[in-house]
Amino acid sequence: MAEPLFERLCLVGIGLIGSSIARVAQERGDIARQVVAHSRRAETLARVRELGIADAVEADAARAVRGADCVILCIPVGAYAGVMRVIAPHLMPGAILSDVGSTKGSVVRDLVPLLPEGVHLVPAHPMAGTEHSGPDAGFPTLFQGRYCILTPLPGSDPEAAEKVAELWRRCGSMVETMDAATHDKVVAIVSHLPHLIAFTICGTADDLAEETREAVLKFAASGFRDFTRIAASDVDMWRDVFLNNREAVLEMLARFTEDAQAFGRAIRWGQAEFIEDRIRRGRSIRRGLIERKQA
């Protein structure tokens, strides 16, 4: 077995993503010698103790991060600034601070001003997840074969970035590096807009007259069901994603709205070729995903 990457890894937040990291670390043994979990609610901490997925469970955030050579924030992105104010004075000089948040520009905005001298920030986003949350939802193979995007800051310590990259490789991920702004645009189209559409379509269905709504639920298998799975996602997490990737989501939504209107116009004017072209493009994107083993 390879040497553990870290002596003490502290997971601040231990829901779906944090508990999946804890499970991989426990299973492999070469990620950290000790894993400490912190969460804000006593119930979550009690459940983590019952599950036995961390070596130590700490209710106090400042105590949790003390002595940790790697701290990973696994909480909704809107909570970063508040939590950082509490932990920053207790971060060890030379420690790596990373995260798993779905937006990256906001991470830089919220963490950099509070970053103590000598602490290395390496933002990361594992492109893996499910609609479930909490420590019971995690599983050790969640990151297997999935991408993890790192958005290191210009001029930051390359050794720290390499250690975080290696952590994700040991979790089974393929690591890519890009700047925060590019990341935020990419995820706006591949993840945030599809969620916005799913939340909206479920709302539209819910607004329908009683009788129609019943029929929608009854015959949901014809396509609507896939949207409901996406729409079952966590409220806090998704509120924070939309509020913290505002510009990119609004830009993608504007483009999408234009394209959807063009589609509607083609239907109105009976433009079969336009419609066929859109369907073909959809099919070819799906084939591309299957070929890349990302379907």
Q: In angstroms, give the least distance from the CB of 179 to ligand NAP.
A: 18
In the complex with ligand NAP, which residue's Cβ is closer, 39 or 98? 39
Measure the CA–CA gap between 233 and 10, rounded to whole angstroms. 25
| Interacting residue ranges for ligand NAP, rule: CB under 6 A | 13-18, 39-41, 44, 74-77, 79, 83, 100-102, 125-126, 129, 133-134, 137, 234, 236-237, 241
In the complex with ligand NAP, which residue's Cβ is closer, 98 or 133? 133
Give yes or no for a contact between 151 and 127, defined as CB atoms under 8 angstroms apart.
no
Give yes or no for a contact between 188 and 252, defined as CB atoms under 8 angstroms apart.
yes
Q: In angstroms, give the least distance from the CB of 89 to ligand NAP.
A: 17
Burial class (CB in 10 A: 0-12, 13-18, 19+), 267: exposed
Q: In angstroms, give the least distance from the CB of 272 to ligand NAP.
A: 38
Q: In angstroms, give the least distance from the CB of 110 to ligand NAP.
A: 12
In the complex with ligand NAP, which residue's Cβ is closer, 124 or 161? 124
To the nearest 10°, report the CA torsion of 201, 202, 204, 210.
150
In the complex with ligand NAP, which residue's Cβ is closer, 134 or 274? 134
Measure the CA–CA gap between 72 and 123, rounded to whole angstroms. 9
Measure the CA–CA gap between 166 and 159, rounded to whole angstroms. 10
